[in-house]
Amino acid sequence: MHVTGHQRLRRLATTALTATVLVCASTGPVAAVATRHDDGLSHQVEAIHDTGVVGVSAEVLSSRVRLSESAGTARWGSPRPMPEQGRFRIGSATKTFTATVVLQLVAEGRMSLSDTVGQWLPGVVHGNGYDGNRITVWDLLRHTSGIPDVPRIASMSSADGYRAERLRTYRPQELVDMALRQRPAPVSDPADPYATWSYSNTNYVLAAMLVGRVTGRSWEREVTDRIIRPLGLHDTGVPGAFPLVLGPHAHAYTAFGAGHGGDPGTDVTLLDPSMASGSGSVISTTHDVNRFYAALFDGRLLDAARLGEMTATVPAAELGDGVAYGLGLAQIPLTCGGSYFGHRGELLGYRTWAGITRDGTRSVSVYVTSDGGPDTEQAMMTLMDEQMCAD
């Protein structure tokens, strides 16, 4: 029987309450740090809002203090303020979750970073100049596989495409096949294993498939049982193909690259995120993301050897001057000297920056709910830099 988009939406509405219970069913310790106002963070958040975004929210978390500030509204044209600890799609910050699960499997002896894709996923990467037997798990996680990104799909490309395909579900193999139809990019130096560094979501779609093959369970289940539940990340979930953002949240908007003046464009909050399996589909909050980074760097998720592998980086100039990339983590230079580890994320209207100081004592996350203007990205990076450099 054919199910229309409207019928699917009605069915989703009737299951939303049950899904909310499932998403929030985590157990575990919750950090008991009092939240307070901070003028510096408030000014930085307002500076981001002034670049034209509908809403912005940020949190700084350390063992001593939790700072939280927001600006703008939860919905364009509405006076309702940004929700406290609103949920949002964290986009490519999901990659750190995926890499963590893979490294846990390595620590358990169930696989190796030097294993090839062909060993675990025979025949999945082949043809058109690609050979999964020559691509390692290392290559997937650090973006040195040479596999191109998934081509931009219709729901991400235009308002009409979004309305037509926002509820379309993609299978991981389908996404990989779309990417492999593109010819490999030429390699400047075949003798240099890092000459093929290129950011590609396909790498993490494959990593999620690999997790499923190694464990016999879905990537979504492994992320939930290995990270979300043990840490008590009550506002974090892996939605699969479920298109709603449950619980308190602000709406997301994008103009699909077209200028709209003061109009943020199309409300794109409703989205089947299956095109970002492994690479960008996690939903979370600034507080949960900060707690995830804190747990990652204090040894609750990975031992010292595995964290060392995760933070061993190669140059990634494509991401910015001085930026390097490890396994699901970028290393970003600070204006005060040194660097921090983190990840940028974006999925159709929601954009985030999140990270943690090298010593693991201070984590910072910020997100916006629309495209904003030409200065939005820099304003977000400035907040990250100044907060990481703060005493």
Query: Following DSSP, what letter does each residue of 228-256 receive, concatenated?
Result: ITTTT-TT-B--TT-----SSB---EE-T
Query: Following DSSP, what letter does each residue of 367-388 receive, concatenated?
Result: EESS---TTHHHHHHHHHHHHH
Q: CA-CA distance, 350 to 261, in Å (whole number)? A: 19
pLDDT confidence of residue 29: 40
Strand-pairing partners, residue 342, are 330, 355
Q: What is the biggest distance separating any 2 CA atoms in the chain, rounded to whole angstroms? A: 61
Q: CA-CA distance, 330 to 107, in Å (whole number)? A: 21
- For residue 118, what are its two tokens? 């062909």
pLDDT confidence of residue 322: 94
Residues 6 or more apart whose CB falls under 8 angstroms from that of 11 comprise 3
Using DSSP, state whether 140 is helix, strand or coil.
helix
- For residue 25, what are its two tokens? 């069913």
pLDDT confidence of residue 193: 54
Q: Could you tell me where the beta strands, DSSP code E, fall in the chain?
A: 35-36, 55-62, 66-72, 88-89, 126-127, 130-131, 253-254, 266-267, 283-284, 314-315, 324-325, 330-333, 339-347, 350-357, 362-368
pLDDT confidence of residue 184: 84
pLDDT confidence of residue 268: 98
Q: CA-CA distance, 89 to 91, in Å (whole number)? A: 6
End-to-end Cα spacing for the chain: 61
Residues 6 or more apart whose CB falls under 8 angstroms from that of 174 comprise none
Residues 6 or more apart whose CB falls under 8 angstroms from that of 54 comprise 72, 73, 75, 76, 250, 251, 253, 264, 368, 369, 370
Q: CA-CA distance, 175 to 149, in Å (whole number)? A: 9
pLDDT tens sequence across 41-76:
999 999 999 999 999 999 999 987 899 999 999 999
The domains found in the chain, sorted by start residue, are 32-79+87-389 (3.40.710.10)
- 176 burial (CB, 10 Å; 0-12 / 13-18 / 19+) is buried
Question: For the chain, which ranges sit under pLDDT 50?
Answer: 1-4, 6, 10, 13-31
- For residue 107, what are its two tokens? 């620590």
Query: Following DSSP, what letter does each residue of 277-294 receive, concatenated?
Result: TTTT--EE-HHHHHHHHH
Residues 6 or more apart whose CB falls under 8 angstroms from that of 186 comprise none
pLDDT tens sequence across 218-257:
999 999 999 999 999 999 999 999 999 999 999 999 999 8
The amino acid that residue 331 corresponds to is: Q
Q: CA-CA distance, 322 to 368, in Å (whole number)? A: 25
pLDDT confidence of residue 36: 79
- For residue 310, what are its two tokens? 């995760």
CB 57 within 8 A of CB 248: no
pTM of this structure? 0.91
The Cα-based distances of 227 to 106, 184, 219, 371 in angstroms read 16, 35, 12, 30
DSSP label at 59? E
